[in-house]
């Protein structure tokens, strides 16, 4: 699970690197009016558009983004299906959030930066960290 998270973060870094100007514009706007800033696009490349460019273009580090997102979803699904009970299935929401952002980004021309960052950064990273924390807590309680 940890390695899938690391793979996703490496791919996410390629996406964020290509959007540095938009992210700095977003950061400046958040300081003055957070609600308006997060509901505007600020020129952030939609995730689906970025992925289509990465897949259809020459091989580059950008391919790590869709590969890492797919790996994260597959590993989470396999792990939760085999060992999950009760609320553990909620972790799948965070694992599949990047894939949802990919499809959302191709369907909508201008999407809010807040939604993009929630789907690509907050949900998958929170799901991964919380899952690893739960696994650690479970392992320590069974000693």
Three-state DSSP state, 23: helix
Which residues, in sequence order, are CB contacts of 75 under 8 Å at separation 6+? 1, 4, 95
Of 74, 128, 93, 135, which is closest to residue 101 (Cα–Cα)?
Answer: 93
**pTM for this structure?**
0.86
Domain spans of the chain, in order of start? 1-142
Q: pLDDT tens for residues 26-40? A: 999 999 999 988 888
Q: Give the pLDDT confidence score for residue 104 in this predicted structure.
A: 76
Of 108, 98, 129, which is closest to residue 6 (Cα–Cα)?
Answer: 129
Q: pLDDT tens for residues 73-93? A: 999 999 999 888 888 889 999
Three-state DSSP state, 44: coil
Q: Give the pLDDT confidence score for residue 26 in this predicted structure.
A: 92
Q: Compute the CA torsion angle 126, 131, 133, 135 (nearest 10 deg).
A: 180
Of 9, 3, 18, which is closest to residue 124 (Cα–Cα)?
Answer: 9
């Amino acid at each position: 699970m940890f390695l899938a998270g690391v793979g996703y973060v490496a791919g996410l870094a390629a996406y964020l690197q290509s959007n540095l100007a938009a992210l700095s514009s977003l950061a400046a706007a958040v300081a003055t009016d957070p609600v308006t800033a997060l509901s505007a696009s600020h020129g952030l490349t939609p995730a689906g558009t970025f992925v289509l460019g990465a897949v259809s273009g020459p091989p580059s580090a950008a391919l790590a983004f869709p590969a890492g997102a797919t790996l994260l979803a597959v590993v989470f699904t396999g792990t939760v299906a085999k060992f999950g009970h009760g609320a553990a299935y909620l972790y799948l929401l965070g694992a599949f959030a990047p894939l949802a952002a990919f499809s959302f980004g191709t369907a909508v021309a201008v999407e809010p930066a807040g939604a993009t960052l929630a789907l690509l950064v907050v949900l998958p990273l929170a799901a991964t960290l919380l899952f690893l924390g739960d696994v650690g807590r479970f392992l320590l309680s069974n000693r």
